[in-house]
Chain A
Amino acid sequence: MEMTDEIRIKAPKARVYEALNDPAVLKAAIPGCESLEQVSDEELEAKVVLKVGPVKATFGGKVTLDRSGAPDSFSLKGEGSGGVAGFAKGGADVELVADGDETILRYAAKAEIGGKIAMLGSRLINSTAQKLAEQFFTNFSARLAS
């Protein structure tokens, strides 16, 4: 499934870019994130509790960052396994545009979910993913604006 949206963040572009690279900020913003640790310059290891419909599972996985477009854009890819609950993988392309003291953040995200979590929650997956993405950016911008 694919999701695109844009939000306005009350913080300058440089700060937004920096925050997107800050594991502490990301951990606080990712819904259900239990841990997020930098293992190398481009790689993070994450543990996220994901709930789709009746299935709740802890997904462990890797996130790879692509900073080649800095400071205007930023990509990340990730995949994780929730054991018997299934697997998830996806990525997002984020684009930052300065607008005075504020920043417009556009994102295009893709996700693929398989296994039991997809079976049980097939009718809920799209709405759940949309909600999670919204939650992430809401948390993210709230943290930056404070």
Chain B
Amino acid sequence: MNDMTPPKDERAVALKGLGASRKRVEDVRFTQGKGNYVDDLKLPGMLFGDFVRSPYAHARIKSINSEKAKALPGVVAVLTAADLAPLNLHWMPTLAGDVQMVLADGKVLFQGQEVAFVVANDRYVAADAVELVEVEYEELPVVVDPFKAQAPDAPVLREDLAGKTSGAHGPRRHHNHIFTWEQGDRDATEKVLSSADVVAEEMVYYHRTHPCPLETCGCVASMDKVNGKLTVHGTFQAPHAVRTVASLISGIAEHNIRIISPDIGGGFGNKVGVYPGYICAIVASIVTGKPVKWIEDRMENLMATAFARDYWMKGRISATKDGRITGLSCHVTADHGAFDACADPTKFPAGFFNICTGSYDIPVAHLAVDGVYTNKAPGGVAYRCSFRVTEAAYFIERMIEVLAIKLGMDAAELRTKNFIRKDQFPYQSALGWEYDSGDYHTAWDKALKAVDYAGLRREQADRIADFKAGKTRKLLGIGLTHFTEIVGAGPVKNCDILGLGMFDSCEIRIHPTGSAIARLGTISQGQGHATTFAQILASEIGLPADDITVEEGDTDTAPYGLGTYGSRSTPVAGAATAMAGRKIRAKAQMIAAYLLEVHDDDVEWDIDRFVVKGAPERFKTMKEIAFAAYNQAIPGLEPGLEAVSYYDPPNMTYPFGAYICVMEIDVDTGEHKVRQFYALDDCGTRINPMIIEGQVHGGATEGYAIAMGQEIAYDEIGNVKTGTLMDFFLPTAWETPHYTTDFTVTPSPHHPIGAKGVGESPNVGSVPAFSNAVHDAFRAFGLTQSHMPHDHWRIWKVAHDLGLHG
């Protein structure tokens, strides 16, 4: 049979391993509407919860009367803070070291805050009962502006923190101040800035927006009073972390808690945190002994669960006359809302914002971030980006443009001049990171060539001339971006959330017939883990990806891991998968050697088998080895073929990319049209090019939404003005631009397969590309900075303020 062996490349292709555009195995069920989401779950006797929410952004609660609600047939319970207080569950810890009210305790601090939780035997009855709960409020002055919040006479928002002059991240200098976080060298930076040839200064605002996953947050909590086990199905991006936190908060032993994340309809950071709905559903289930479902609606999702961004970034960047950057300073005023519920690693209260030196070799830099309380919803999650990385990338990519204007220099040339060179990697940044690998010049040159950058600039010059001559009312903008991400949190030595180290894991069992199941500590929310992790494994252990089941999300079966967000799945769990695969292969090698009657060192790996060195006709395939592992007594070896790996990454990974957006702007209507969008990503080793392309399309579309219209806006009394999809921009196929994707490959030197992660690069890179295109269109007319989102009205206003409407 041995002479029938297909050639290497054919065998490799058959595995559908690394580099194969394997079709997503998840799509078989998703495209048939057979996904299994938390709201599809129906348990016998299940009750339904719904929230009474505050219409006020800041008010004292004088009384809550739930008698009428309780009298409604079908209502089982109405929970208020007073009911949770004896259990010490009326407040809960946040991921950022703050505390947050589960149900309003004496006052409300943002519109939509949870005031009471109604439990009924029918979803409609619950909604009706919500209307019957009478809450008497006394209005308090509202502050929605983070700068006004720091005024000496600003209203005190967090009365629970009265007298506390320090918080989880050091000293607080005002009653609405949360923390100051500093990185870099202030004195050295000031010295450089004060003596520089050129200094460009700008306030760059990255507005408040929201991840708005299509599936909102929710859970079904089910307390089995007979065996004492609590099972919670929910939309959790980090099921194990939820289990540990739930155990710590509730006092239920961790082995008696089972967290299950079923299919998740998008997370984008919105489903990382712990919300009052989960706590209330769990308490209600414990109290009633019945399963309790809580699913938020769209308005609740937009106004109460975690928002993203809201960073006011004041930058100063200095350079020599010929455009060599010499220093960077940034001060951020971070609006965290009413509670600090940012989802960042503990030691990083502003996430990895200190990646804000970007792709550039900046010798000296300083960063200070001030977190501030306001009467807005809590959150500050990484909306399809690593922690605060999209803010950082937007900041530096705007500052580069502003500097280019100040220098009178082409922005592409300015970038080329200042990129970290290939030979400088690993590169130590002025704000403390060690970039693992990169080749920015190659990527940049490829991108400029692909879009014919010089030709575009010529066309733009002609367009400006035509505009001035009255021949056209449309301007052309060329938006450039070269971003560097920092993903894959992260090394346990400096990355933890609530004390939980940010390693991840994979456990593999090979079945006797040569198929396998792999379980991971992560959870897919659309990323296609079942497809790609099987591919990593296929290449590592020589079994076809189609024969490998990937399972995630059930804490009773999956190994412990910190979940999926911040593009950490491939860099961390992907590495764990490869390492676990290598353990399997090591044992397989011993088995093969035994079967082939040679020494372990005399066999070598060949795609899907071990062959005897120098005698390729003598081999054992992985399928044969798997069967032998279970069924043949091998001296000195335990039966079975399993492995588990917990991977603590030695460093983050640093994916990068070059994005270019070409945009037409109608000066009179403020409308825009994206004529071309070119996205070059370097995510190291590419596992599945088709999935990468899908990720880039999705992420760039979210970036497009953010840059061009999506926002959570508040009026002065704290009303959320964009609480429905009528006002909150979510692009449909009609608005979505066409994308051209491209790549270079610079593997990560420390990742087992060289992969860096890509899911979030397109959001990080596309936002500045779209925004820079808008700015660039008006550069010739004197525009330096205009805040996002660039909706039609704001673009019209820019044109108007520049006097372009005659």
Contact = CB atoms under 8 A, between A and B. Distances in A.
A85 B57 CA distance: 14
A119 B130 contact: no
Given A84-B130, A84-B131, A119 B52 contact: no
Interface stretch (B31-39, B602-610, B721-729): B721-729
Interface string B704-739: 000000000001011111111011000000000000
Given A84-B130, A87-B55, A119-B303, A114 B727 contact: no
Contacts of A84: 52-53, 55, 130-131
Given A114-B111, A114-B717, A122-B727, A83 B56 contact: no
A7 interface: no
B299 interface: yes
A112 B724 CA distance: 20
B113 to A, nearest CB: 12
A71 interface: no
Interface in A82-129: 83-87, 112-116, 118-120, 122-123
Contacts of B53: 84
Contacts of A122: 715, 719, 721-723, 727
Interface in B530-575: none
Interface string B464-491: 0000000000000000000000000000
A112 B719 CA distance: 10
The range of chain B's interface size is: 20 to 34
Contact of B719 (A83, A85, A119): A119
Given A83-B131, A84-B131, A120-B299, A114 B55 contact: yes
Nearest to A89: B139
Contacts of B720: 119
A86, A113, A119, A123 — which one has the most chain B CB atoms within 10 A of its CB?
A119
A32 to B, nearest CB: 18
A72 to B, nearest CB: 32
Contacts of A120: 299, 723-724
B727 A123 contact: yes
A85 B52 CA distance: 11
Interface string B286-314: 00000000000001000100000000000
Contact of B723 (A85, A87, A113, A119): A119
A119 B299 contact: yes
Interface string B207-228: 0000000000000000000000
Contacts of A116: 55, 299, 723
A127 B718 CA distance: 20
A94 to B, nearest CB: 25
Nearest to A115: B55
Interface string B375-388: 00000000000000
A115 B111 contact: yes
Contacts, number: 50
Given A120-B299, A122-B727, A87 B56 contact: yes
Interface string A60-87: 0000000000000000000001011111
Contacts of B52: 84
Chain B at the A interface: SS class = loop
Contacts of A123: 726-727
A112 B303 CA distance: 19
Nearest to A113: B719
Contacts of A87: 55-56
B492 to A, nearest CB: 42
Given A84-B131, A123-B727, A118 B56 contact: no
Contacts of A118: 715, 719, 721
Nearest to A118: B719
A81 B55 CA distance: 10
A116 B727 CA distance: 14
Nearest to A124: B726
A85 to B, nearest CB: 8
Interface string B38-62: 0000000000000011011100000
A86, A87, A113, A115 — which one has the most chain B CB atoms within 10 A of its CB?
A115
B55 A112 contact: no
A28 to B, nearest CB: 28
Contacts of B134: 83
A120 B300 CA distance: 12
A81 B715 CA distance: 19
A80 to B, nearest CB: 12
A34 B723 CA distance: 29
Contacts of B57: 114
A110 to B, nearest CB: 13
Interface string B302-345: 01000000000000000000000000000000000000000000
Nearest to B723: A119
B52, B53, B722, B724 — which one has the most chain A CB atoms within 10 A of its CB?
B724
A20 B722 CA distance: 38
A115 B55 CA distance: 4
A86 B55 contact: yes
Interface in A118-144: 118-120, 122-123
B672 to A, nearest CB: 21
A114 B56 contact: yes
Nearest to B299: A119
A116 B57 CA distance: 12
Nearest to A117: B55
Contacts of A112: 717
Nearest to A123: B727
A85 B718 CA distance: 15
Nearest to A86: B55
Nearest to B134: A83
A119 B130 CA distance: 18
Interface in B722-764: 722-724, 726-727
Contacts of B718: 114
A41 to B, nearest CB: 25
Contacts of B717: 112, 114
Given A86-B55, A114-B717, A119 B131 contact: no
A87 B136 CA distance: 12
A115 B724 contact: no
Contacts of A85: 55
Contacts of B722: 122
A112 B299 CA distance: 21
19 contacts: A81-B55, A112-B717, A114-B57, A114-B719, A115-B55, A115-B56, A115-B111, A115-B719, A116-B723, A118-B719, A118-B721, A119-B299, A119-B720, A119-B721, A119-B723, A120-B723, A120-B724, A122-B715, A123-B726
The 6 closest A-B pairs by CB, nearest first: A115-B55, A119-B723, A118-B719, A86-B55, A122-B721, A119-B720
Interface of A: 81, 83-87, 112-116, 118-120, 122-123
Given A87-B56, A113-B719, A115-B55, 15 more contacts: A81-B55, A83-B134, A86-B55, A114-B55, A114-B718, A114-B719, A116-B299, A119-B299, A119-B721, A119-B723, A119-B724, A120-B723, A122-B719, A122-B722, A123-B727
